Amino acid sequence: MGAGARLFTTPEKDTIPGLDFTSDVFSRSASPYMAPRERVAGSHTVPGDKSITHRALMFAALAPGESRVTGALTSLDARSTASVLRLLGTRISPVRPGSAVRVQGNRRFSPPPTVLHCGNSGTTTRLLLGLLAGHPFQATLTGDRSLRRRPMRRVTGALSRMGAVVDDGGRDGLPLRITGGSLNRLDWQMPVASAQIKSAMLLAGVAGEVEVVLHEPASTRDHTERLLRHFGFEVASRDGILRFAPTGRLAPFELAVPGDPSSAAFLVAAALLAGSGEIRVTGVGLNPSRTGFLEILRQMGAEVTIDGMHTPFGEPVGDLVARASSLGPADVPPEAIPGIIDEIPILACLAARASGTSRFRSVEELRVKESDRLALMVSNLRAVGVTAAAEGDDLVVVGTDAPLVGRVITSGDHRIAMAFAVLGKGGGSQIDIDDPGCAAVSFPGFAAALEGLAG
Ligand code: S3P
């Protein structure tokens, strides 16, 4: 995405029936209700990157010998990946805070004795499907209620073309059974821009030792490609075409997982909404395919900078410094969406505290995340007193500085819970969250981290 003059145009007219965006709903300085917001300070950390942790564990599981992953995410999602890999014959030490995860990998998985339960994790499921496609045995995958409603044919369709046999009982989702084996090469137009779909195909290429050519609608996070290159696989991306050749070999490795930028986004947002002060979030992964939200924040007028960037393990890492800021509206174009897909809930909550009306264009993928995030963001913003709407596939949010009061329904979605916890801080707001504990899916210790920002 370029520096994007188009990113922040003021919507020309109110296109939401029943909403009057021309009235001055926002007047930050004039509000008689504004309770003082807290001051933030200090240096903070966030748990390890979720995407990199899943990939590190999976690569290590197929690298014969012992690999060591430090700084791994220890959340429920990461444990889901560890537990299914154990059922496939991998020895993995407990995934717990403060200790390295040791993985005793084998060149091939062994047939699982039971169903593979992927918990809440779409990344576990979809990447694993790719790996299983190249293994000559049957495996059944399932997940929790949220995961069972998420589409899987976007992955299994192409794996079937490669030669895997998939039985999903006639519906697009889990549970499903996959029987892998020897695979054909794939040359495929991807239906949506998705790092999970892309990675599933690349991992099928690794497990099946076949070439994979993907035509991508837009580029997405590239952690899988970076790891594959490290192991000598050819992965080249040009003009929207990604070409993989099975030239490499997985070998044991040591990897230090950086902090998750998607988790850091919640702390950064809390600092931006604070009354005063500045925080530093240290050791955050700053892969350009993950930092689209910083560009949106800057366009909104947020004071957020990167400091001390270096690239220790093939992934850029640095500190984020964020300062209490006055925010303006965002108009986010469709092409920016894949790069901020996990940050839209928190960006939408920031938009609720920005001056004017923000629009996130073509966010239909939000409907198939851990919840229908488009519907839930709208209903929850409204429930706490913010004017918001889904207009077609766009999310529209009108900023306000009134105290926000109401109850948020998370549907167990970690990012909804964290976004509204941030929004509920200060300004006289009282936001009650039905299941704050679901934050542990990606950010164990989130509540304490948020409280710890006070300076
Ligand atoms: C992920 C890719 C994204 C993202 C998810 C993690 C990954 O999903 O939302 O949290 O690690 O590849 P999609 O590929 O469905 O966009």
For 87-127, what is each residue's pLDDT tens digit? 999 999 999 999 999 999 999 999 999 999 999 999 999 99
Residue 452 has pLDDT above 70, yes or no: yes
For the CA of 262, the closest atom of ligand 1 is 10
* 15, pLDDT greater than 50: no
SS3 state of residue 441: helix
> With bands split at pLDDT 50, 70 and 90, how would you rate the model's confidence at 22?
very low
Percentage of residues in the chain having pLDDT higher than 90? 91
Q: What is the pLDDT of residue 19?
A: 34
Give all strands of the β-sheet with 186-189 in edge-to-edge order. Answer: 186-189, 212-215, 241-245, 234-238
Q: Cα(305)–Cα(314) distance, rounded to whole angstroms? A: 21
Ligand 1 near 51 CB (within 6 A)? yes
pLDDT of residue 8: 26
Q: Is 123 in the pocket of ligand 1 (CB under 6 A)?
A: yes
Residue 35 tokens read as 């309770």
- Give Cα separations from 161 to 137, 158, 201, 246 (angstroms): 17, 5, 11, 18
Return the amino acid letter for 334. Answer: P
Helix (H) or strand (E) holding 158: helix 153-162
DSSP secondary structure code for residue 240 in this structure? T
Q: Whose CA is nearest to atom 13 of ligand 1?
A: 194
Query: CB of 340 within 8 A of CB of 297?
Result: no
Find the 404 Cα to ligand 1 centroid distance in Å. 30
pLDDT at 302: 98
Strands 405-408 and 430-433: parallel
Q: At what angle do helices 122-133 and 76-87 cross, to 10 degrees?
A: 20
pLDDT-derived band at 5, boundaries 50, 70, 90: very low
Q: What is the pLDDT of residue 35?
A: 60
Burial pattern 115-140, b for ≥16 Cβ within 10 A else e, equals: ebbbbbbbbbbbbbbbbbbbbeeebe
Mean pLDDT of 143-154: 98
Q: Tell me: cis bond preceding 47? Omega within 30 of 0 counts.
A: no
Tell me, using a 6 A CB cutoff, whether residue 124 lines ligand 1: no
Give 124 Cα–ligand 1 centroid separation in angstroms. 10
Residues 6+ apart with CB under 8 A from 50: 73, 75, 77, 78, 123, 260, 262, 263, 442
Q: In the predicted model, is pLDDT for residue 224 greater than 70?
A: yes
Which atom of ligand 1 lies closest to the CA of 196? 14
Q: Mean pLDDT, to the nearest integer, of 295-311?
A: 97
Q: Does any ligand 1 atom lie closer than 6 A to the CB of residue 287? A: no
Report the separation in Å between the CA atom of 123 and the middle of ligand 1, taken as the mean of its atom positions. Answer: 6
Q: Give the model's confidence band at 14: pLDDT under 50 very low, under 70 low, under 90 confident, else very high.
A: very low
**Residue 376: CB within 6 Å of ligand 1?**
no
- Candidate of 49, 76, 123, 190 to mutate for ligand 1, largest count of ligand atoms within 8 Å of Cβ: 123
User: Does the CB atom of residue 77 touch ligand 1 within 6 A?
Assistant: no
Residue 348 has pLDDT above 60, yes or no: yes
> How high does pLDDT run on average in the chain?
92
Q: Which of 51, 54, 126, 413 to mutate to test the pocket of ligand 1 (most atoms within 8 A of CB)?
A: 51
SS3 label, residue 129 = helix
Ligand 1 mean position to 194 CA, how many Å? Answer: 6
Give me the percent of the chain exceeding a pLDDT of 70.
92
- Whether residue 18 has pLDDT greater than 50: no
CA of residue 441 to ligand 1 center, whole Å: 14
Q: How far is 342 from 411, CA to CA, in rounded Å?
A: 16
CA 224 to chain centre: 14
Nearest alpha carbon to residue 95 among 81, 80, 116, 79 = 79
Closest CA to 158 of 219, 223, 202: 202
pLDDT of 25 reads 32
Active site residues: 342
Is 194 a pocket residue for ligand 1 (Cβ < 6 Å)? yes
Going 18 to 23 to 29 to 30, the CA torsion angle's sign is negative
The finding on whether 195 has its CB within 6 A of some atom of ligand 1 is yes
Q: How far does the centroid of ligand 1 lie from the alpha carbon of residue 18, in Å?
A: 34
Helices and strands counted in the chain (H then E): 13, 23
Which pair of tokens denotes residue 167?
Answer: 């039985």
